[in-house]
Structure 1
Amino acid sequence: MAYYGKCIETVIGQLDKFKAKKGSAEQFLETASTALQTLSPQKQAFILEVLSGCLEYQKLLAVVVDAFYVRAGCLCPRADHSLFEVICYLATFQLEELGFQLFCDIVRSQPVDKMRKVPRSTYQPPKEQQLLETTKRHNRWKAEELLLRANMEEMRCAVPRSRGEPPTQDSQKTLQPRLLPRILKTPKLTFYKTNNVPVKLNTAAILREGSLYQRQVEKELERVDKLVDGAGDFSEFLEWQRKVQAEGREEQLAASECHRLQGKLSHEEAILARQRLVQGNKEKADQKKEETAELMQQCAERRLQEERSMKELVRRVAEVQKNVKVAQTKLLRGRQQIVQEVIEESRELLQRSAEAAGEEQKRRRELISQLRALETQPVRQGKLVDLTQIPGYGLEGEMSVVELRERLALLKETRRREEEEKRDQIIQGKRARSQELQNVVEQISLCRAAMGRSAALRWEERKARSAAPAAPSQDERVLELQRKVEEKAAERQRQAALLRVPAPRAAHRKPRAQLEAQHWLELEQSRERRLRALQRSGSVCGHARRLEAA
């Protein structure tokens, strides 16, 4: 390493001298070769080759190194500019000739703090990994919480209690969740199911689904083992949880109804504001009509005055045109005389240019004849090249062209054999992988069939429980908003009766009122459908939990 370190230091010193002198590159290389006569031939050849390459590609290397200083070299001194140019040249143009191992030795010969710095983020875990750790901790907490609830239910089974009694205050305190760190939640996505469309799964999807079904099977077996060992069920807790969820759904429906009535109230207020605006616009329109009539009278008077002034101007222009015709005849005669003189001068110039072109053509013919005579003379052939001869520059690993071709052929053959071996290994791995995937697909198909049967049973239960209609809401906020909406509607009707609107505008407003009524009717129907869906989902969820507990 010390050998290459001294060579790189010599090249850096010579580059610094060349930048200070700013002379010719050929003269500088001759001067440097005379100054390096005291070194060994191998060192001298290596230093001169690297120095000549750096001088030849100096502009390109300067662009790369300057970009490095701008982007990531804010803590590197400018005195190492030549060092980075030499390393960049070796990595770009001499890496194949030197080899990767020799290039690494050259880099290791330099100071470590100048060669090996890449950013703090390399030694820090990514944000995705931190997010995964947080999610794992959250999932672990949820599992512990579920296990704690199961233990509490087992303990509660030993205490006698009536069936309709809610959980005690101590148990509610135990089941309260602890404070958790803020976790980023992905937005809810809506998936639309298609009807009997075959889906082609890739390898990752097959393995993911297979592991999911495997975990479900293990979880079900674990639950069955616990039931066999005498563990209790969650029927009472699920019943209490179903009641709490029903109250929450009722509160949600009341809030949605309040939101809808608030929108309707704001709509009625907007109609009242629009009616007031129509009344104001009508008064402004009457005022504008009076102002427009006055302006039209003023414009008519101004137009009469302009017509009188235009007639006077036409009379004056007619008198001026009579004098203009005389001046035009005099000007036409003068222009004709000038054109005649210009034509005579152009004839003389054309004659002179024709004579000059003839002389130039004659001179070109003489030159062509001389060139053809030179082409007929015999030309000396170039020097023959011996491909088996070594150039003899004194470089390491120097060889002839024939030897280089033979080595390249051997290298290609070796690479071809390695590629064939790798190809065989890949084919065998693919075959084993395809067999594993086929086994997983068979297992997935069995699990899907079982889940389809359970889904059909749940659907039948949901259809049986969705017959009861929804009761109207009796919330105080909803009743108050309905009263306000009715008052605003009555006020709007009184205001519309006071306004005297023309017949065409009334004809245009009638379909708008119909559309608004249809809009509110659709909102009412969607609200009822939503309430029924929430009731169905609540009943199905409670029934499914009872089935799981059973």
Structure 2
Amino acid sequence: MAYYEKCIETVVEQLDKFNPEKDSPEQFLETVSTSLQTLSAQTQAFILEVLSGCLQYQRLLTIVVDAFYVRDGRLCLWADYSLFEVICYLATFQLDELGFQLFCNIIKSQPLDKMCKVPRSTYQLPKEQQLLEITKRYNRRKAEELLLRANMEEMRCAVPRSRGEPLVQDSKKQPRLQFGPRILKTPKLTFYKPNDDVPVKLNTAAILREGALYQRQVEKELQRVDQLVDGAGDFSEFLEWQKRMQAKDREEQLAAGECRRLQGKLSHEEAILARQHLMQENKQKANQKKEETAELMQQYAERRLQEERSMKELVEQVLETQKNVKVAQTKLLKVRQQIVQEVIEESRELLQRSTEAAKEEQRQRCELISQLRALEMQPTRKGKLVDLTQIPGYGLEGEMSIVELRERLALLKESQRREEEEKRDQIIQGKRAKSQELQNTVEQISLCRAAMGRSAALRWEEKKALSVGPGAPCQDERVLELQRRIEEKAAERHKQAALLHVSAPRAARPKPRAQLEAQHWLELERSRERRLRALQQEGSACGPARRLEAA
């Protein structure tokens, strides 16, 4: 792939350099061949052949590529014009020589977005979503119609009775008085619910993979049951050991949580100390910066005096050099006039040679045109009639007429059609069997999912019951060490704050952010202590019940 990509890239690069108004194809190909001497002979031949073909049929390729840009390539870049010309030439004139497989390799070596067109289905919504949108639009239109009808009924029935209007009469009932507008109930609106229970379709690989997973789990469970039937050991000791280890793990988790809390508090104290140290360092750096700034200003003044002196000397030197410039300009003018005279004489000689060469070329063209016209004026033979039922008689084995050949081809196509139909039937039967097998696998997967969901719910309940365990986190060495370091950092912080209070009175009052952080850490520590007490009480209450369940 990389070989063809490099070759096509070289052809496109050279084709971009060609200018039909200034360059001739023969000279351009010669210069390209000299520039490709470092490549192998096979690569040079391929590049030169493709390049010469593109130059020969450039007018035809231009028509095809322009039509492509007008019709389907509106979003393509004009910088890829030469690349499309090369691909068009290969597909039109070199496909038989290259072969379909080699042509496919050349196409695959190019960028995919330039060679292939991203299908229409990419910009279309799925069928389920389109169905939902249609249902929503239908429901909305139906609701608007019903609402408009109800409003029209209300407006028609809400017109008050005029003073001269007679009483409402009825042929079967007595006349009754009409005291006001008649109120009608609006019809009940009916909304069609969209079809939300659209089943999720799984592909064949997902169904088979999940079915194999559940099958392995079932086989493991059956092996475990067989081992128990064959007399395997009881799991009561293992369960007790597991409970002890789980309790130990819970204690370690609580201790780790306490360590994390203390580490956070320690980092908070260290951050306060670092901030205090940084304030002292900033003060020292500010004093040092002032001293350095004064030294730099003094050095800058001295440097400015030196630059003014050097500028005065430079002005004097420039005035001296301006006097010598006029003499040099006169000498340069004489030399340029002499060079112009020589160039004019050489251009005259070259113009004379070019006119002679053009006359010779024109004469050769006239001779060639006269020869071509003489060839066209020669009489041509007319072809004879061909009998399709006659055997050519070349003496070859199995020789036949065209009619017989057509009949045999028709019989061969008929036999191929029958074989295709048989294969199609076999494929359909195989698909049906496979779909039935997949359906059985899906049913088995649904059953396994339901069972796994129930077992997961039971395990979650057990884990939730065991999550509240007895005992407080053990005061191990890590916790004690962290508490000792926090106390040391707090004492150091108070001492540093006292020093800062003496050195800078304005920094004695703590900032609001520091107060908020201290209050946050205090509340966090209190909530931790309350939570530990609650865990201890619940653990002491739930301990006998848990031991009874284990028994």
Q: TM-score, normalised by structure 1?
A: 0.44
**Structure with higher RCO (Cα < 8 A, 6+ apart):** 1
Q: TM-score, normalised by structure 2?
A: 0.44
